[in-house]
Structure 1
Amino acid sequence: MNNLSANYERILEVLRKISKEQLLSYQRRQPKLSDLELISLSLTAEFMGIDSENDLFRKLPDSLLSKIERSVYNRRRRKLVNKLNSIRLSLASHFNEFEDYFVVDSMPLEVCKLSRSSRSKICKENTYAFPDKGYCAAQSSNYYGYKLHAVCSVNGVFQSIDLSPASVHDINYLKDIKMQISDCTLIGDKGYLSTEIQLNLFETCNITLNTPMRSNQKNYKVQPYVFRKKRKRIETLFSQLCDQFMIRRNYAKTFEGFKTRIVAKITALTTIQYINKFIFGRNINNIKINII
């Protein structure tokens, strides 16, 4: 995992299989470091746990360092966030195209401590993207920042992701999910319990929402064990994002930078899963592993 050049070449090889080189609308000429090469460099850094651009540029080989400056790298990476997400979806489609069961959950993403929230200027350049105070039931704590909403397959590949202020309730994410998946069973926890939403999902896009019932509900039934077991898969993915990809560590000052970091970390995770399955034929969720 310490060989940056070899890891970079492996990830670039994968991206070239699923995405074509092309100039984007804001580019007038071909840059020295192409978009795919820049994205590959970003994903390599995330995979190797290099979470600081300063540290990354100290470790870059001369062949890459001569092609791009740090400020240009940072600016172009933010502009490429939509292409980065398209690559993530293309990778995920190789796993989830015929998937019938998905898991939905959310996790807190803190941008600063609560004591600093009143004077913090992080991610406040646009009104629509202001962070907010929220409560995490799993950790029994309040925090200031955002909430990452995600849907993954039961095999552990992210299909859909979204960010919202921390105060937004989990169930509101289900209103947007209808545009992204259909004809499947969606497994969630008690935070997604809603008869109205459950009926709406089934009638509009044939999604069966399965959540544990509260013990005092009428016609109470225990959620099947297989669903309770599969629901833990997304919690394991969140743990991997926190551990190896350090998703809770934030160096961003703007929302665009914050969003780019989150998408890059999840795309890096999906890329390693793709390499595990289609190049080495091993367990896709062995993330701390050599890819060269």
Structure 2
Amino acid sequence: MNNFRANYNKILEVLATITEKEQFLRQNRKPKLKDIELIAMNLTAEYMGIDSECQLFRDIPEYLFAKIERSVYNKRKRKLFFAIEFIRTQLSNKFTEFENYYVVDSMPLEIVKLSRSGRSKVCKEYFYSAPNRGYCASQNMHYYGYKIHAVCSIDGVFKSFDISKASVHDIHYLKDIKNQFNNCVVLGDKKYLSADYQLDLFESKQIKLEVPMRKNQQNYKKQTYIFRKKRKRIETLFSQLCDQFKIRNNYAKTFEGFKTRILSKLTALTIIQYINKFVFNRNINNLKVNIV
């Protein structure tokens, strides 16, 4: 995992099999570093846990350093958000083409400590995307920032994700699921418990929402063991994002930069899973092993 050049070449090789396009942005002057190379450089940094751009430009090979400046790299990376999302979707579809079971959950993303939230200007350029205060029941804490909502397969591949303000209740993400999925089973925890939403999802898109019942409900029935076990897969993924990919470390000043960082980390995780399965034929969730 310590050889940036070798990891970069492997990831660039995989990206070439996903898309034939090398340039995604329309630019008057042809840049020295191609868009696909910039994306490979970004994903390599996320895989290797290089969370600082200062450190990244110390570690990259000289031939890459000569092709782009740090400030230009940051601007182009934000503009390539749509291209990174396209690549992530293409990678995900390779795993989930015939998948019928998914898991939904959310995780808090703190921007700054609550004591600094009043004077912080991070991600506040627009009201609709500005962070706010929320509560995480699983960690029993109030925080200031955002919440990431995600759906993954039972094997642990992210299919869909979204970012909302911290105060938004998790159950509202089911509206996005309704627009993106059909004819499948979605496993969730008790915060997604709603008879109205369950009925609406099933009648409109044949989506069966499997949520454990509360013990004080009438006709209480314990959820099937296999569902309870598979539902923990997404919690493991969130832990890996926090540990290896440092998703809770935020250095972005704008929401555009913040969402690009989150997407880059999810895409880096997915491309390592892709390499594990389709290149080395090993467990897709061995994310800390060498890819070269």
TM value normalised by structure 1:
0.98
For 2:85, the equivalent position in structure 1 comes to 85
Q: Distance in 2 between matches of 1:60 and 1:95?
A: 31
Q: Distance in 2 between matches of 1:163 and 1:194?
A: 22
Secondary structure of 1:102 counterpart: strand
For 2:227, the equivalent position in structure 1 comes to 227
Q: Distance in 1 between matches of 2:200 and 2:165?
A: 24
For 2:290, the equivalent position in structure 1 comes to 290
Structure 1 unmatched ranges of 5 or more: none
The answer (yes or no) to whether the contact 1:150–1:162 under 8 Å persists in 2 is yes
**1:172-218 CA distances to partner (integer Å, 9 max, x unpaired)?**
00011122111100000000000111011111111000000011112
- The alpha carbon displacement at 1:26 in A equals 3.7
**1:15-35 CA distances to partner (integer Å, 9 max, x unpaired)?**
010112254454224321111
Q: Distance in 2 between matches of 1:156 and 1:113?
A: 31
Structure 2 unmatched ranges of 5 or more: none
For 1:174, the equivalent position in structure 2 comes to 174
For 2:19, the equivalent position in structure 1 comes to 19
For 2:248, the equivalent position in structure 1 comes to 248
Identity value in percent? 65
For 2:7, the equivalent position in structure 1 comes to 7
TM value normalised by structure 2:
0.98
**1:202-244 CA distances to partner (integer Å, 9 max, x unpaired)?**
1111100000001111221111000000000000000000000
- The alpha carbon displacement at 1:264 in A equals 0.2
For 2:122, the equivalent position in structure 1 comes to 122
**Does 2:102 correspond to 1:107?**
no
Q: Distance in 1 between matches of 2:78 and 2:29?
A: 18
Secondary structure of 1:179 counterpart: helix
For 2:216, the equivalent position in structure 1 comes to 216
Secondary structure of 1:64 counterpart: helix
For 1:145, the equivalent position in structure 2 comes to 145
The answer (yes or no) to whether the contact 2:22–2:36 under 8 Å persists in 1 is no
Q: Distance in 2 between matches of 1:19 and 1:76?
A: 19
- The alpha carbon displacement at 1:82 in A equals 1.1
- The alpha carbon displacement at 1:105 in A equals 0.1
Aligned length: 292
Q: Distance in 1 between matches of 2:74 and 2:291?
A: 26
Q: Distance in 1 between matches of 2:22 and 2:7?
A: 23
The answer (yes or no) to whether the contact 1:23–1:30 under 8 Å persists in 2 is no
Q: Distance in 1 between matches of 2:173 and 2:28?
A: 38
**Does 2:133 correspond to 1:133?**
yes
**1:32-77 CA distances to partner (integer Å, 9 max, x unpaired)?**
1111100000000000000000000011111101110000000000
Tell me: CA distance 1:3–1:25, structure 2 relative to 1, closer, same or farther (3 Å): closer
**Does 2:51 correspond to 1:46?**
no
Letter of the structure 2 residue corresponding to residue 48 of structure 1: M
Q: Distance in 2 between matches of 1:2 and 1:24?
A: 29
The answer (yes or no) to whether the contact 2:133–2:142 under 8 Å persists in 1 is yes
Q: Distance in 1 between matches of 2:53 and 2:21?
A: 24
**1:110-141 CA distances to partner (integer Å, 9 max, x unpaired)?**
00000000110000011110101000111100
